[in-house]
Structure 1
Amino acid sequence: MRLLILLFVFNFSFSQSSEYDTILNKIENQFISSKDSLPNYLYQLKSIKNYHSKKEKELVLLYAECFISLSETNYTKALKQISNLEQKINSSLSKTLEGKIYYLHYLILERVTNYTEATKYLKKTEKIALEINDLKLLQNCYRSHTMIYLDQKNYDLALQYALKSNAISIKINDQNLYSNSLSLLGEVYREKGNYKKAEEYFSQAYDIQKKINSKINLAWTLTNWSLLYDVDLIKSLRMELEAQEIWDEYDAENTMSIVNLGNIAWCYKTIAENDSLKNILSPKISKQDMYQIAENYYDKAIQLAKKKKNKNSYYYNLIEKSYLQYELGNYKEGYDNLDLGYSIKDSLFSQTQKNKIAQYESQKVIDAKNREIELKNINIENQKKQKLYLTTIVLLALLVLVILYKNYKKLKFLNHQLELSNQIKVRFFSIINHDLRSPVANLIHFLTIQKETPELLDEESKKRLEAKSIVSAENLLNSMEDILLWSKSQMEHFAPEYKKNSIKLIFGDVQKHFSSHENITIDFENNNDIFIFTDENYLKTIIRNLTGNAINALQKIENPTITWKAWQENGKFYLSISDNGKGADSEQFKALYDDKEVVGIKSGLGLHLIRDLAKAIHCKITVDSKLGEGTTFTLKL
């Protein structure tokens, strides 16, 4: 028979982030490994200055000191410290810390094998962990329950808690915790006799721990996994020896190390009793020598168990060693060890203690029922809130309907405006159709006569028609260009591209564009070399159209002159074009301001185009025209 004792990693942390939180986590983790650093960690805790209060510092230090006493197996001191710590628990203390204190009390009582009281504190811890949804603390509780019920051979309950522990470790997403929960499931299934499932879980745990190089956890898994191979003791022994190498390197006095030493001793003793197995393992070693190796491992396990006050391992190894001493002929010493071992075992696992643990489990069922009633009351309150929410939703729905109705009326009005706009556009394109057809018809007429009856044209008629056709073609080209530019400005998703533009360069472009009009003087004034942030193409088109209109207005004018100016005033930029033409009344400039004004190309599509392009780049245009003196357009950007 070999001993099973399961240990687990302690994964505590205070809910509040603090400087001492990290140090406490190290102290709690050191509890299962090397103890050398613990006094140093305690010194670091005492040196911290940013505690929220003296009370907080006192509690943290007491908690750490109690953990260190437990790690040093000074259980009497640890019990006094934990009792002192529990007396300081009050309503202002965080539930997380309260749960940690109760769980620490459980650990101490479990080490001194007071399982009845230990179960009571474990139950308190589980209740708090459920209240505050502390998954790590709750997982520790479930693992501890698994241990208790495995020791009590209540394998069904042990499996329930092992599965709960595994489910929480998946939620937490911690590979160490997850691999340990798999190892725990493996041991439960081994005890239940389901070796196939046990092998599956142990193998998964081993692979993960190898991958993440988790040495201590790997030793735990190997120690428990080896018990699966009672029919292959050599494989079992090799697993245990591999585990012991890790224990000796990292934590030789760990409880699981003590367990593993006893299991190694049992394997050597059993193999020594089977000649075929002994010859496979080591044919040169005699049976008596192998017995001696087994006794040495038992002695080491007993010494460490006594030193660490681990009664489970102590009684187990005493009993197993007594059987070996019988084989060696040491009957008196063997009988004494057997008697002592069973007296300790009986004190640990009396029927009375089993009944008390069952009583606490029943109380837990009652608490679960009470919690169920509490949840039902909460559901009733939630139903009342739902009614209130539904009423609110109905009111909101009515409000939405009112808003939708108002939007419907507004949309109906906008549709009416859109219909009027479409009617205007239809009229506009009808005019365009008429104005484009005229020059095209002149071109076709001239080309037809020239092709079919060229003899009817004398030289003078031919030149006259050619000149007329050229003028028609130029008008057609200009009209098409204006229409395309205007169409571009009307595109819904076409947006101006703003950038910094030099007026000097734009004036140069205009001068080059109209250089063929040699009989007209075009002056440009830009004394401050102004730059304007706008769309270059839009602005150029506006300036060109205004310049073209001015040129048309200067026909049959003596000394025709056009002047472009650029200046800045009160943070705004201004451009103006002036001509010394005949001037005009305001009615002729109506297309510049009225969106509904629709005119023919020959009589003002240029102003229509200028209006829409200016609106697109947020440019305001004003006009000042006096009959007999000329016209001035001013652009404000």
Structure 2
Amino acid sequence: MRILKILLLVCTFLNGNAQRSSLEAIDSMLLKLPGAPYDTNKVRLLYRISKAYQDQDIEKSTQFAKQSMAAAKALGWKKGMAANDILSGELLLGANKYDSAILHFKAAYATNTEINNINGILSALQSIGNVYYGQNNPNQALPYYLNALEMAEKHKNNDQICRINQNIAAVYLDQENSAKMLQYSQRSYAAAIKSGIPENTITSLESIGLAYLLGKDSTLAGDYFTRALALNERTDDVYRKANLYHYLALAKKSVSERIRYLLQAKELFDTYNPEHAMALSNLKHMGTAYRDSSMKITDPARKRKLLLQAEAYYEKVIAESKAMGHIDTYNDAESGLATVRAAKGEYRSAYELLYNYVQTYDSLYSQETKNKIATLENAREIDAREKQLQINKLALSNARRTRGALIAGSALLFIIGGLLFYQNQTRRKTNTTLLTLNNELDEANKIKTKFFGILSHDLRSPIANLINYLHLQKENPGLLDEQKKQYYQKNLATSAENLLDTMETMLLWSKSQMERFAPEKKIIPVDQLFEYLQKQIPAGSQVSLSFQNTGQLFVSTDEDYLKTIMYNLTANAFKALRSTPDGQIRWEARQNGNQVLLTITDNGPGIRQEQINALYNENAVVGTKHGLGLHLIRDLAKAIQCNISFHPAANGGACFTIAVRPS
């Protein structure tokens, strides 16, 4: 599992470092420096200042480390010289200067052995092991770790036992041996509890979580990372917190959750050090997460946006990891970027990236690879006196490695082809759907435009009459006598009331057009509906309006909607009977199975077929000079789930029937 390879080493190496001091603590130490006597205390003060700068300013840290070493040499203080050799080696190792770093660590080991400084010997052995591990040579790293572990166990140094076990767990991480890694991680946790050092407990929990993650048990891994994160809140360690968010992201199966934790880790890494190896690994996994997220998206615009985000993260990782010498991260990022470019249709670029990935991978892993760690453990148990462990190397041939890479490349190209085919099919379906929706939208816009033209005409007339009357009153108040004034005022009042009814009807209709709008249903007596219509008879009308409800029926529906539908049908009937002598309108309510039928019949001239189309065709828009049209009745009836039907009356007039559910 190459995605975890660099994580634990960085974590365990930093465990040997002193905790980062705040800027205030650094300033305090700098103030003490000029007055400090030239003795071992000054060496310690310079050392502590260098350690404080180690994670904040590498140049200043190196400067004070050199001063501390010079003072230790001048005083002939070998313990201080050994400590500064360890510090100088750590600074060089952080800059990937492995050869120079190992010289300092070996010098520290020799000095500490000379003065029998057990803690110094343990620190030097671990540091040498870290250098070899950082050079992808765990075969040489493991003997130093095991040697240090034996010495730490002999002296019952639980602090060192915890850290060394974590380093050995890192070697098994490289071997992808989750069982052994978990074994040493749990030993580390047991020693951490005995040491009573919170930082050791946190890093041990991290190590156990990584072992479960390596063993593909993401649930348990997430539990241990969460426990470590809770403990870390008390230490306020930004770097470790960023690591834990990164690990939690890797333990999440949901891509959206993974992205959320990776973004939290990125924010912390940006604060700590955006060029750190772990920060670059986090960016690489962000690229992978956005790429994986794009695979589940069918919308082309959203898919392309996610692919561009993934591409940006991969490109940044490639540029920075190449400059920093992190070949593993660079190699993985190239592979991920190849899949993104292929998904974008940039096949030439994808092929070149894939070719570079295979070449780099082959150069990294085709010479000397995994070793059998079990052999080293047996050698340690059998030959404890000499403390030299033999490592049997398992060499894989170049042909086998190349064949594996070609198989992986072929599989990747097959996947790319499948993705392209799927993308093609999805694009065709999407284009067809969009074309249909655009046509429907264009037709709907035309219908709405025509409808609002009718509506504006109907609303304009009564308002224009009112304005004209007001101007007349203002400019020529004596032109009208009292009788004419009363007549016009009565007509204007009637027009205003009709206008209000029209606006209320429009409001109800607009609500019916809203998605998720639900009418309020209740039980309504049919007699109550007929009483409402009786009150709406125009003054001075010669048309006869009658009602019949012999069964005293009730209906269950929205009262306002049904009243509006019945009122509009009644108003239309009155308009149709203007020129008909002895006009008659009749409302009748009767039960028909599980429905109540409300029927209005008139003896007028009837209506044309194109007007009736508005009841059944949603694309038809029919209006009258002063009415909203049958399309309004249709939409209101649909909103309350009523059915309206038309058939000619026996006497040639019109007959509409509303089918409503009973109470």
TM-score, structure 2 normalization: 0.49
Q: How far does residue 145 in structure 1 lie from its aligned partner after superposition?
A: 1.7
Partner SS for 1:243: helix
Q: How far does residue 348 in structure 1 lie from its aligned partner after superposition?
A: 4.6
* Partner Cα distance (1:214, 1:252) in 2: 16
Superposed structure 1 runs of 4+ greater than 6 Å apart: 49-52, 368-371
* Equivalent in the alignment of 2:96: 73
Q: What are the ranges of 5 or more consecutive residues in structure 1 without an aligned counterpart?
A: 372-637
Within 5 Å, give how 1:22-41 maps onto structure 2. Answer: 24=47, 35=58, 37-41=60-64
* Equivalent in the alignment of 2:11: 8
Change (3 A) 1:44 1:347: same
Question: 2:122·2:152 contact (CA, 8 Å) conserved in 1?
Answer: yes
Question: 2:106·2:124 contact (CA, 8 Å) conserved in 1?
Answer: no
Q: How far does residue 23 in structure 1 lie from its aligned partner after superposition?
A: 5.7
One-letter identity of the residue aligned with 2:237: S
* Partner Cα distance (1:28, 1:146) in 2: 26
Q: Does 1:188 align with 2:204?
A: no
Change (3 A) 1:33 1:137: farther
Question: 2:44·2:68 contact (CA, 8 Å) conserved in 1?
Answer: no
One-letter identity of the residue aligned with 2:293: I
* Equivalent in the alignment of 1:258: 280
* Equivalent in the alignment of 1:224: 247
Within 5 Å, give how 1:365-514 maps onto structure 2. Answer: 365-366=381-382
| Aligned pair partner of 1:269 in 291, 294, 303 | 291
Q: Which has the larger radius of gyration?
A: 1
Within 5 Å, give how 1:345-384 maps onto structure 2. Answer: 345-349=361-365, 353-366=369-382
Change (3 A) 1:340 1:124: farther
Question: 1:51·1:57 contact (CA, 8 Å) conserved in 2?
Answer: no
* Equivalent in the alignment of 1:247: 269
Change (3 A) 1:44 1:80: closer
One-letter identity of the residue aligned with 1:236: R
Change (3 A) 1:21 1:354: farther
Moved more, 356-365 or 141-150: 356-365
Question: 1:126·1:138 contact (CA, 8 Å) conserved in 2?
Answer: yes
Q: How far does residue 355 in structure 1 lie from its aligned partner after superposition?
A: 2.6
* Partner Cα distance (1:132, 1:13) in 2: 21
Q: How far does residue 211 in structure 1 lie from its aligned partner after superposition?
A: 3.8
Q: How far does residue 248 in structure 1 lie from its aligned partner after superposition?
A: 0.7
Question: 1:2·1:266 contact (CA, 8 Å) conserved in 2?
Answer: no
Q: How far does residue 323 in structure 1 lie from its aligned partner after superposition?
A: 1.9
Q: How far does residue 163 in structure 1 lie from its aligned partner after superposition?
A: 0.5
Partner SS for 2:236: coil
One-letter identity of the residue aligned with 1:245: E
One-letter identity of the residue aligned with 1:165: S
Q: Does 1:319 align with 2:335?
A: yes
| 1:306-336 alpha-carbon deviations (Å, 9 max, x no partner) | 2332232222222222222222344344334
One-letter identity of the residue aligned with 1:112: Q
Q: Does 1:335 align with 2:358?
A: no
* Partner Cα distance (1:12, 1:2) in 2: 24
Question: 1:3·1:262 contact (CA, 8 Å) conserved in 2?
Answer: no
* Partner Cα distance (1:138, 1:370) in 2: 21
Question: 2:280·2:329 contact (CA, 8 Å) conserved in 1?
Answer: yes
One-letter identity of the residue aligned with 1:294: A
Within 5 Å, give how 1:157-172 maps onto structure 2. Answer: 157-172=180-195
* Equivalent in the alignment of 1:299: 315
Q: Does 1:140 align with 2:163?
A: yes
Identity score, percent: 21
Question: 1:45·1:61 contact (CA, 8 Å) conserved in 2?
Answer: yes
| Aligned pair partner of 2:200 in 173, 177, 190 | 177
| 1:253-290 alpha-carbon deviations (Å, 9 max, x no partner) | 222111111100001111112117xx8xxx9x632232
Partner SS for 2:176: coil
Question: 2:162·2:204 contact (CA, 8 Å) conserved in 1?
Answer: no
* Equivalent in the alignment of 1:99: 122
Q: Note the aligned Cα RMSD (angstroms).
A: 3.3
* Partner Cα distance (2:119, 2:84) in 1: 16
Question: 1:112·1:311 contact (CA, 8 Å) conserved in 2?
Answer: no
Q: How far does residue 243 in structure 1 lie from its aligned partner after superposition?
A: 0.5
* Partner Cα distance (2:52, 2:161) in 1: 17
Higher relative contact order (CA 8 A, sep 6+): 1
| 1:515-556 alpha-carbon deviations (Å, 9 max, x no partner) | xxxxxxxxxxxxxxxxxxxxxxxxxxxxxxxxxxxxxxxxxx
* Partner Cα distance (1:110, 1:30) in 2: 25
| 1:573-611 alpha-carbon deviations (Å, 9 max, x no partner) | xxxxxxxxxxxxxxxxxxxxxxxxxxxxxxxxxxxxxxx
Q: How far does residue 100 in structure 1 lie from its aligned partner after superposition?
A: 1.5
Equivalent pairs counted in the alignment come to 362
* Partner Cα distance (1:49, 1:90) in 2: 17
Q: How far does residue 60 in structure 1 lie from its aligned partner after superposition?
A: 3.6
* Partner Cα distance (2:87, 2:50) in 1: 7
One-letter identity of the residue aligned with 1:298: Y
Change (3 A) 1:265 1:84: same
Q: How far does residue 85 in structure 1 lie from its aligned partner after superposition?
A: 4.8
Change (3 A) 1:174 1:86: closer
One-letter identity of the residue aligned with 2:160: L
* Partner Cα distance (1:13, 1:153) in 2: 27
Q: How far does residue 202 in structure 1 lie from its aligned partner after superposition?
A: 1.8
Change (3 A) 1:332 1:359: farther
TM-score, structure 1 normalization: 0.51
Question: 1:116·1:353 contact (CA, 8 Å) conserved in 2?
Answer: no
Q: How far does residue 217 in structure 1 lie from its aligned partner after superposition?
A: 1.1
Change (3 A) 1:366 1:29: farther
* Partner Cα distance (1:329, 1:32) in 2: 42
* Partner Cα distance (2:365, 2:50) in 1: 32
Question: 1:219·1:244 contact (CA, 8 Å) conserved in 2?
Answer: yes
Question: 1:111·1:310 contact (CA, 8 Å) conserved in 2?
Answer: no
| Aligned pair partner of 2:139 in 100, 113, 116 | 116
Change (3 A) 1:25 1:135: farther
Question: 1:176·1:217 contact (CA, 8 Å) conserved in 2?
Answer: no
Q: How far does residue 180 in structure 1 lie from its aligned partner after superposition?
A: 2.2
One-letter identity of the residue aligned with 2:3: L
Q: How far does residue 229 in structure 1 lie from its aligned partner after superposition?
A: 1.3
Q: How far does residue 234 in structure 1 lie from its aligned partner after superposition?
A: 0.7
* Partner Cα distance (1:96, 1:29) in 2: 21
* Partner Cα distance (1:51, 1:129) in 2: 31
Partner SS for 1:275: coil
* Partner Cα distance (2:363, 2:50) in 1: 32
Question: 1:115·1:353 contact (CA, 8 Å) conserved in 2?
Answer: no
Q: How far does residue 246 in structure 1 lie from its aligned partner after superposition?
A: 0.4
Question: 1:103·1:122 contact (CA, 8 Å) conserved in 2?
Answer: yes
* Partner Cα distance (2:148, 2:359) in 1: 32
Question: 1:34·1:251 contact (CA, 8 Å) conserved in 2?
Answer: no
Question: 1:32·1:254 contact (CA, 8 Å) conserved in 2?
Answer: no
One-letter identity of the residue aligned with 1:267: A
Change (3 A) 1:320 1:110: same
One-letter identity of the residue aligned with 2:124: I
Q: How far does residue 19 in structure 1 lie from its aligned partner after superposition?
A: 6.0
Change (3 A) 1:167 1:78: same
* Partner Cα distance (1:322, 1:12) in 2: 38
| Aligned pair partner of 1:288 in 280, 283, 304 | 304
